[in-house]
DNA sequence: TTAAATAAAGACAAAAATATCCTTTAATAT
DNA sequence: ATATTAAAGGATATTTTTGTCTTTATTTAA
């Protein structure tokens, strides 16, 4: 026993978010990146990343193409795809709806001891994720203001 | 592949918080609870809970006594022990200091794409945990306003 | 002094998350 | 057509987290 972790999102989810941002940051016209390119850009394990990209394709956040010049592209409008959607696709919605202390159901009627305090945080987080769209975030990366690795 | 989880804290951490609140909620005078009583009160697996209580004893958030009428008690003043201390003891401080997207270090100089947005959430969360003391939270439980299980 | 109660400690087991590897399928270019 | 490229899918491996079991040590009470 001895844990030195527990962060907000799973690794799978972090890779997913980073991958989506990377693909969204690709220059117009040439916006299709292969697995190798993506996992290199976000410094993630290639094979594991492949599984995550597959999931994102299944939920139609990404489109994919096989063969030479194949790869992954954002499916839909980067302006309207939110980080919340990516998180929900990979980690599910427990982070948006679950009880902080593990009660089966988070509710006002049968609240856990930190429900009221925690609810505010959760709403803050949810609001942030829902209003963060890929386009805007990818611009920060393109402008050199933020980074996808290290 | 197919995850339907990822919550804010690890299970170990949730059990720890609940256990601390339960022990803090014990009536004056008779404030020493055994493992069985605690894990029943918070609906947690007994043996696993034992390990967590051991950790809490090691970091001196709890004191323990063996033998008949032994058990666990809060060590120190419940008014000044915060949920943040319990979380840090079990989950470490990644939740307070780590990068949301997995960069090795969260910093202003080399921010990840969601750093600025996420920082606000993290400060909100940190502030909440730092200002939530055991005494106050345990009172809610004693008043029947909040619940430790189901 | 002995028996009972209870926490501590260590070994082990099961489940979940993370990660890798190999084969198959589809697309492209020659 | 064929060879090459790249994603999809499936099986497997590793690591971490969660959980259990057994033994030991300590305290209390009879
Ligand atoms: S009941 Fe625990 S967070 Fe709502
Ligand atoms: S660098 Fe990612 S949260 Fe600060």
Note whether residue A46 is domain-resident.
yes
pTM of the full structure: 0.94
Check pocket membership of B106 for ligand 2, CB cut-off 6 A: yes
Note whether residue A3 is domain-resident.
no
Above 70 in pLDDT, residue A1? no
Report the mean per-residue pLDDT for chain B: 95
Note whether residue B149 is domain-resident.
no
Q: Is the dihedral of CA A145, A150, B2, B3 positive or negative?
A: negative
Note whether residue B65 is domain-resident.
yes
* Number of domains within chain A: 1
pLDDT number for residue A127? 97
pLDDT number for residue A95? 94
Note whether residue B119 is domain-resident.
yes
pLDDT tens string B9-36: 999 999 999 999 999 999 987 779 999 9
Contacts of residue B113 in chain A, CB cutoff 8 Å?
18, 21, 137-138, 140-141, 146-148
Domain span including residue A94:
11-142
Above 90 in pLDDT, residue A2? no
Above 60 in pLDDT, residue A4? no
Q: Which residues sit opposite A82 in a β-bridge?
A: A133
Note whether residue A76 is domain-resident.
yes
> Alpha helices, DSSP H only, in chain B?
11-24, 35-41, 46-58, 83-91, 94-97, 115-131, 134-142
pLDDT tens string B124-146: 999 999 999 999 999 999 999 99
Strands (E), A32-85: 62-65, 71-74
Q: What's the residue count for chain B? A: 150
Note whether residue A147 is domain-resident.
no
Pick the closest to residue A147 from B108, B120, B117 (CA basis). Answer: B108
pLDDT tens string A64-88: 999 999 999 999 999 999 999 999 9
CA-nearest residue to B123 within chain A is A121
- Percent of chain B at pLDDT > 90 equals 92
Q: Write the CATH number for A104.
A: 1.10.10.10
Note whether residue B3 is domain-resident.
no
């Amino acid at each position: 026993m001895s844990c030195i972790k527990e962060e907000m999102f799973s690794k799978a989810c972090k890779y997913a978010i980073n991958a989506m941002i990377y693909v969204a940051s690709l220059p117009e016209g040439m916006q299709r990146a292969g697995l190798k390119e993506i996992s290199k850009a976000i410094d993630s394990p290639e094979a594991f990343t492949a599984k995550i990209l597959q999931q994102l394709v299944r939920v139609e956040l990404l489109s994919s193409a096989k063969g030479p010049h194949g790869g992954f592209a954002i499916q839909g409008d980067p302006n309207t795809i939110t980080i919340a959607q990516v998180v929900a696709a990979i980690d599910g919605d427990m982070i948006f709806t679950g009880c902080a202390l593990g009660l089966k159901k988070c509710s006002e009627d049968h609240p856990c001891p930190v429900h009221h305090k925690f609810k505010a945080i959760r709403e803050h987080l949810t609001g942030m994720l829902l209003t963060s769209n890929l386009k805007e975030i990818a611009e920060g990366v393109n402008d050199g203001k933020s980074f996808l690795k290290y």
